[in-house]
Amino acid sequence: MRILVLGGDGYLGWPTALYLSAHGHDVGVVDNYVRRQYDHELGVQSLVPIVTLHERVRTWREHTGRDIAVYGGDLCDADFAYETFRDFAPDAVVHFAEQRAAPYSMIDRKHAVYTQTNNVVGTLNVMFAIGEINRDIHLVKLGTMGEYGTPNIDIEEGWLEVTHKGRTDRVLYPKRPGSFYHLSKVHDSHNIEFGCRIWGLRATDLNQGVVYGQETEQTSLDPRLSTRFDYDSVFGTVLNRFAIQAVLGRPLSVYGNGTQTRGLIEIRDTVECIRLACENPADAGEFRVFNQMTESFSLGEIAKTIQNTAPRPVEIEYVDNPRVELENHYYNVTHTALTDLGLRPHLLSDTLLTSLYRIIEQHKDRVDVRALEPSVNWRSTASAPTPVHKTA
């Protein structure tokens, strides 16, 4: 298949591009490199050094002889989006190309507006490009488990069978997300479901859990194939951040009482899920939702897992929760669609966290410990991600 990976320079987009290429697909990547720009804005960097996208692609060719096409540009630029889709003529489009950090979207009004316009407009342009150029292109869109929030009923895969006053319907699963970022994904999902209805688009919406891990079989071939690894409090995801705190011998900072539960997924499962979604496309007009996660843990449980496996003794510290979210909530998620397609998950208990600690150990001198502190408060309309935001 011809598969275009939007946001193919990012944490997951890049390993996905390699994985799909390794599996024999013709891959193109689209990116405007804004993820690297956020690093400059926040004064942080990936724990693991990364080379430019062009060098990544050259390295991949050296190792495998396989080409990956690169399209540099912004999907909010409709002309660029249309030209790219016309030029590459994909069978499937994997859409990672969104601002993806909840805290980033909660910094202040500008970051909230940026996140929602960037994500929603980019996705609208992708939908219109497909609608105009070839409605058979399968849109595989990255969403997040955070879209659902924490309802007191089981979380189903995007749709819910409801009986109310003696009548029944299958409705979109009601969502109550927890940040302006998560909201942008809910907006996308509603827009895409509409596109399926009016234009017969084929769409798979992947509500992904919190991803952990950094290496895949492909990225570990060569240091120049590494993907980024974020540890800062704005872009770093929770398990990765705990692992880094553990290696540094710093307390694992749990927000609130740690009973908040998250769906998790290992990075190698992410790329496999994307392959499965692409190779088993949605029907014309179908808006299909998969919960792309493999197991659930509370933040406290994640912290304990890290504490128990860490290379040195570490403490767990409970800090004031900068977010507004439920603690002690119900959380039970259906996630069978991807295993039905053949996913065989890497579970946390079986994962060699030691390889994660090894990677961190190797690069720990690159850590700016100030960047680990939570810097964005949900209750404020204007946070300054200090001290990293200030020029000293």
The Cα angle at residue 239 between residues 235 and 242, in degrees rounded to 5: 90
Please, what is the minimum distance in Å from the beta carbon of residue 234 to its own copies?
17
Structure tokens at 134: 């070839």
The reply to whether 286 sits near its own copies by the rule CB under 8 A is no
Side chain identity at 189, as an amino acid letter? S
Q: How far is the CB of 390 from its own copies (least distance, A)?
A: 22
Residue of the chain from 379, 384, 386, 387 that contacts its own copies (CB under 8 A): 379
Q: Is 330 a catalytic residue?
A: no
Q: Does 190 bind its own copies (CB under 8 A)?
A: yes
Nearer to its own copies, 38 or 199 (CB): 199
Q: Which stretch binds its own copies (CB under 8 A): 59-67, 86-94, 185-193, 359-367?
A: 185-193
- From 238, 273, 226, select the one nearest 15 (Cα to Cα): 226
Give the x/- contact pattern for its own copies in 26-65, rule: CB under 8 A.
----------------------------------------
Whether 391 sits among the annotated catalytic residues: the reply is no
- Identify whether 185 is a catalytic site residue: yes
54 CB-contact burial (10 Å; exposed 0-12 / middle 13-18 / buried 19+): exposed
Closest separation in Å from C-beta 89 to its own copies: 18
Among the listed residues 134, 336, 362, 381, the single contact to its own copies using CB under 8 A: 381
Q: What backbone phi and psi angles, to 5 degrees, belong to 333? A: -115, 130
User: What proportions of the chain, in percent to the nearest 5, are helix, strand and coil?
Assistant: 40, 20, 40
Contact between 20 and its own copies per CB under 8 A: no
Residue 341 in contact with its own copies, rule: CB under 8 A: no
Q: Are the CB atoms for 137 and 130 separated by under 8 Å?
A: yes
Site for its own copies (CB under 8 A): how many residues? 54
209 Cβ neighbours under 8 A, 6+ residues apart: 144, 145, 262, 263, 264, 265, 291, 292, 293, 294, 296
Q: Does 284 bind its own copies (CB under 8 A)?
A: no
Determine, following the binding rule CB under 8 A, whether residue 198 of this chain makes contact with its own copies.
yes
199 lines the binding site for its own copies (CB under 8 A)? yes
Name the minimum Å distance from CB 21 to its own copies. 31
251 cis-preceded (ω within 30 degrees of 0): no
Rank residues 9 and 98 by Cβ distance to its own copies and give the closer one: 98
Given the residues 19, 114, 173, 181, select the one marked as catalytic: 181
- Decide if 288 contacts 317 (C-beta within 8 A): no
Q: Does 176 bind its own copies (CB under 8 A)?
A: yes
> Binder to its own copies among 17, 44, 53, 124 (CB under 8 A)?
124
Give 315-321's long-range contacts (Cβ < 8 A, gap of 24+). 315/251, 315/252, 316/251, 316/252, 316/254, 316/258, 317/251, 317/252, 317/253, 317/254, 318/254, 318/256, 318/257, 318/258, 319/253, 319/254, 319/255, 319/374, 320/255, 320/256, 321/255, 321/256
- CA distances from residue 202 to 5, 17, 132, 142 in whole angstroms, order as listed: 16, 21, 14, 14
Residue closer to its own copies (CB basis): 161 or 350: 161
Site mask, its own copies, residues 136-175, x = CB under 8 A?
A: ---------------xxxx-x---xxxxxx-xxx-xxxxx
Taking the complex as a whole, how short is the minimal distance between the CB of residue 5 and its own copies, in angstroms? 23
Q: How far is the CB of 388 from its own copies (least distance, A)?
A: 23
Sign of the alpha-carbon torsion through 385, 388, 391, 392: positive
* Contacting positions for its own copies (CB under 8 A): 78, 109-110, 112-113, 116-117, 120-121, 124-125, 128, 131-132, 151-154, 156, 160-165, 167-169, 171-180, 183, 186-187, 190-191, 193-194, 197-199, 324, 330, 378-379, 381-382
Active site residues: 144, 181, 185
